[in-house]
A and B are shown apart, each in its own frame.
Chain A
Amino acid sequence: MRLACPECDLLHESMEITYGHSGYCQRCGAVLFRNHKNSLDKTLAFAITGLVFFLLANIFPILVFKMNGNTEANQLADGALEFLNSGYWPLGILVLFASVIAPLLVLCLLVSILLPLKYNRLPVIPELQIRTLLSLRPWAMAEIFVIGIMVAFVKLGDFAEVGIGGSLISIICMVLAMVLAFVFLDRRTLWQRLDQLK
């Protein structure tokens, strides 16, 4: 199996591929592949888990804010909508995309690619689906959103009473599932599986 390092272009003539091991470039140390047993099945399982938690994250509030007898709670997309309402529409679009749309799309794409593969079928438009998945991945910032929520929580705690809503836990679970899905996803295995089915 011949491989070119994506970061320094060095050609690796033959790479021994064993389960549970990762391959690194001899020259620059870049990851060439990560090999996990049943890599695609694991990714699929975590992607489905992530989707379930995504749905749950939309039902409950994230944080609850209390001040002088008034209560305000926010949900997943509220921050983005507030940006849009207050005239900062580029920020609204950015936040909506990075914290809601991109994570949802990434999870849906993973399922739509891997579920057919599991039953030995080709996805509808595999090339486009995988390309979109890979280019969307850096923009799905659910993990950073979680830290942002925590900073907001600490800041508000200074002058008012703040509580944690059920959605925060769901978002954290979704983030963990998404991170694990990508830990197990091996691009090379994915393309090889597609090549086999064609």
Chain B
Amino acid sequence: MRGLLPITAKNSGILACETCHKLIVCDTVSEKGATCPRCKRAIHVRKKDSLNRTWALLVAALVLYIPANLFPIMTLISFGRESRETILSGIYQLFLSDQWVIAIVVLLASVFVPIFKIAALAFLVISVQMGLTWRPVFRARLYRFVEWIGRWSMIDIFMISVLIALVKLKALATIEAGPGALAFAAVVILTMYASKTFDPRLMWDRLEGEIDE
């Protein structure tokens, strides 16, 4: 590939619509404020302000990850006794009661996935900013995986929603949501948006720049 510029839509003067994948030759549309003739959506050569937006969302997610783990996500009130549960203590409880499969699923979804997502996206953004040419196919796969796995962190939020609707027998047993759940849901949404604002094509643009020189 060295020495030979790969033919991309961008260097052929073509805009590709993100929604319907239609190709539009740039001469026919002014590049700023162009809309796709087929699906009528605004099109850009690359996602707008991608790296800055991804950074901002990642930092916000990282900050909120702290209260998400410190505050209880729910409280069980049974026979006048209150027991607060955080994300980690909930997983610990599952291990204690020998529910290994479920415990590992929740551990993956609530602890590993958010941390992995934030770390992987930060790495991808930095790799673009530093103009890294290291293993682009691996990085493309990493991005695809991050995009796919992100939603699965919502398991805990749905679990809480089921428990609070089901366990409300007044003094006998009641489960209430805690502020940690709010912070955790925010982390999931922020990281979902962060992976959406990142433009994977930037990784390949840098690669072509390198070959150009």
Whether A55 is near chain B, meaning CB under 8 Å from some CB there, is: no
A-binding segment of B55-63, B115-123, B126-134, B161-169 = B161-169
Whether A79 is near chain B, meaning CB under 8 Å from some CB there, is: yes
Whether B190 is near chain A, meaning CB under 8 Å from some CB there, is: no
Q: How far is the CB of A114 from chain B (nearest CB, A)?
A: 16
Residues of A within 8 A of B192 (CB): 138
Q: Is the CB of B156 within 8 A of A82?
A: no
Residues of A within 8 A of B80 (CB): none
From known contacts A72-B167, A90-B182, A187-B20, infer whether A4 and B162 are also in contact, taking CB-CB under 8 Å: no
Bound-state CA distance A3–B89 (Å) is: 50
Whether A68 is near chain B, meaning CB under 8 Å from some CB there, is: yes
Whether A59 is near chain B, meaning CB under 8 Å from some CB there, is: no
Closest to A126 in B: B39
Residues of B within 8 A of A13 (CB): 7
From known contacts A72-B168, A152-B163, infer whether A4 and B137 are also in contact, taking CB-CB under 8 Å: no
Closest to A160 in B: B173
Q: Is the CB of A91 within 8 A of B182?
A: yes
Residues of A within 8 A of B156 (CB): 148, 151
B-binding segment of A22-30, A40-48, A103-111, A176-184 = A22-30
Hey, which bits of chain A sit against chain B, CB under 8 A? 2-4, 6-11, 13, 27-30, 62-63, 65, 67-68, 70, 72-74, 78-83, 86, 88, 90-91, 94-95, 98-99, 127, 130-131, 134, 138, 141, 144-145, 147-152, 154-156, 158-160, 187-188, 191, 194-195
